[in-house]
Amino acid sequence: MLTCLLQDIIIAGNQPRIVNVSSMAHANAPSCHIKFDDIKAEKEYNDWERYGQSKLANIYFTNGLHKRMGSKVCCISLHPGVIKTELFRTFNGCLECMMWCVLGCLCMDKNIPQGTATQV
């Protein structure tokens, strides 16, 4: 909504660009689709699936902006990397916990300021 409200101001800028943060987690969306028939997750809820759908929506939105704005505005979606945040705090399954512990040891080498630098 904010991007749409600021669209005219963005277009008028010098070298305008829109950067939307997505994630490789978009692959968690089932078959890379958004469940529009259950958009509020009233029928079924899976936290990582829904997170993946939200990241996929960011990619779709950015692609749509690119098609509408053409060369007037550079539209980018990006995966900032795996960052040490509280995102994984709710894991309670043993297998999930082990998987993220391994991932954390291998990939989570960015703190929050380093992770935000990707977008800047």
Q: Give yes or no: residues 71 and 86 share one domain.
A: no
The answer to whether the CB of 57 falls within 8 A of the CB of 90 is no
List all residues 6 or more positions away from 25 whose beta carbon is below 8 Å from its beta carbon. Answer: 48, 51, 52, 55
Task: Give the pTM.
Answer: 0.74
- State which residues form the domain around 30: 1-79
Q: Give yes or no: residues 8 and 49 share one domain.
A: yes
Question: Which residue out of 4, 6, 17, 45 is catalytically annotated?
Answer: 45
Number of domains, the chain: 2
DSSP-based three-state secondary structure for 75: strand
Q: Give yes or no: residues 75 and 99 share one domain.
A: no
Task: Give the model's pLDDT for residue 33.
Answer: 77
pLDDT tens for each residue of 36-86: 888 888 887 777 778 888 888 899 999 999 999 888 899 999 888 777 676
Is 51 one of the catalytic residues? no
